[in-house]
Amino acid sequence: MATTKTHLPKKFHDAVIKWRETFLPDYGFLMESWDKHFPKEPRFEACAFREVGICDEIECGDLKGQPKFTRAVDLEDKQASHLLGAIKAQASTEFGSIQQHRLTLARAQDEKDQVWILRMMAEELRHGYQMLHLLLDDDWSSVSYLTGPDMVEEILSMTTGSHVLGAFNIEFDSFVDNAMFCTLIDRVGKYQLAMQRISAYKPFAESMPQMLREEAFHLAAGVVPLRRWVEDHARGGVYITTADIQKVLNKWLPRGLEMFGDERGGGTNVRYGLKPMKNAEAQGQYYAEVEKLVRDLNMRYVRARLPELKLKEAEALLDRILADGDTVQGIAWEELVHVPHRHFFRRRGVPAFELTGWDGTPFDEVESYLQHLSRHLPDAYRASSDFRDYAEQLRRVGRGEIDAAAASHQMPALRRVGGACPCSKSVRWIADNGAGATTSH
């Protein structure tokens, strides 16, 4: 299919470029390295693409078969409100991931890995640009007290700690985070973009195909290093081990699962024609895909350790180790990577604040569970405020001071205060401590 290309009005385009100069300072290096690493790919450009020829009829929900909406004003208020929330959340995640990745970008051991992540960051910038285009190209006043320009300012003012979704408020500790984030969190993004491709709001649907094409590269930017690290460790490498990968997987998969929303929800988006699946169904497909990914990593580990094995022999060996939990031909169960239980370390959704171990083992006491977490999460992450805040809320739930649903809503977060300041073009933020008190930022 053909695409059209659009740029934001100059002052907003310039604002994105200024944002890029702050949070993506290595952009110049990416451009200098582009032909070396991506000789067959068109050079990156900050713009908005819209696919031509997208289906004109609503593809699911109560209005299935009717013409898709081209203007926000024609949507029902609740429908438009859900859609606007999705666009703003999408924009927040795109810019938020750049802020996270830049923290540990320089820690890459390989230039190729670094440049691949840089390209991914640039494309995330374009995805955010795409969402700003949707906010400015239509009139959302029926469902928002903020104007399009104010919404753009709000999004560009967000930093790690103030983004819409929790996964984008967690700082990276090492370059393994960069790779795992692409592997798991961008995989959630792939699911969301694929579902939004059928959106009843045609401009949103038209924005998805190019984003999906770029998202495929983002997944590769994470999976390819993981595969290499697993094989290197199997051959005796000491830099990044399967134990390191396991702990980072444990850190990010719970946040990825939560990005689909509460397992009991999603029906409204289906009825409104905004997505084709409810939350639990999409989350289940995602989890199954992660299981296949982890099996692939383990197969690569086994074949690198025992290169004399044929494919079927390696598969049989892996199945035996996983089934029995034993050491077979020198490979122990503990050396492999395992998918954490879906209820492990959750703070939102049905399993929020359950005491479920990474392998599904139930715990009766909060302190014992926290000790379990301390053994199965990265050391640097356990020293973070994010883990501390989770532990404090878990203890409150355990003492009966608060239920899990309230604890989910009271996890400390930054939220916006007031509107945009017309003189300073800045915003003020406060940190909600969960008890109604706030501190300015």
pLDDT in tens, 381-406: 999 999 999 999 999 999 999 999 99
Higher pLDDT, 412 or 400: 400
* pLDDT (mean) for 333-358: 97
Instruction: In whole angstroms, give the CA distance from residue 47 to residue 127.
Output: 9
Q: Is 28 left (phi over 0), alpha (psi -120 to 50) or beta?
A: alpha
Under a CB-based contact definition with an 8 Å cutoff, are residues 168 and 97 in contact? Answer: yes
Q: How far is CA 135 from CA 120, 130, 155, in A?
A: 23, 9, 11
Confidence (pLDDT) at 140:
96
Q: Domain segments of the chain: what residues?
A: 3-299, 341-403, 411-441
Under a CB-based contact definition with an 8 Å cutoff, are residues 203 and 50 in contact? Answer: yes
Query: Does the predicted TM-score (pTM) go above 0.95?
Result: no
* Three-state DSSP class for residue 359: coil
Q: What is the CATH number of domain 3-299?
A: 1.10.620.20
Surface-to-core class of residue 147, CB atoms within 10 Å of its CB (0-12 exposed, 13-18 middle, 19+ buried): middle
pLDDT tens digit sequence for 246-259: 999 999 999 999 99
* pLDDT (mean) for 142-167: 89
pLDDT tens digit sequence for 67-125: 999 999 999 999 999 999 999 999 999 999 999 999 999 999 999 999 999 999 999 99
Q: Is 261 left (phi over 0), alpha (psi -120 to 50) or beta?
A: left
Confidence (pLDDT) at 440:
33
Confidence (pLDDT) at 414:
35
* pLDDT (mean) for 154-171: 85
* pLDDT (mean) for 166-191: 93
Instruction: In whole angstroms, give the CA distance from residue 398 to residue 355.
Output: 10
pLDDT band at residue 412 under the 50/70/90 scheme: low
pLDDT band at residue 261 under the 50/70/90 scheme: very high
Residue 339 in this model has a pLDDT that exceeds 70: yes
Confidence (pLDDT) at 410:
82
pLDDT tens digit sequence for 234-243: 999 999 999 9
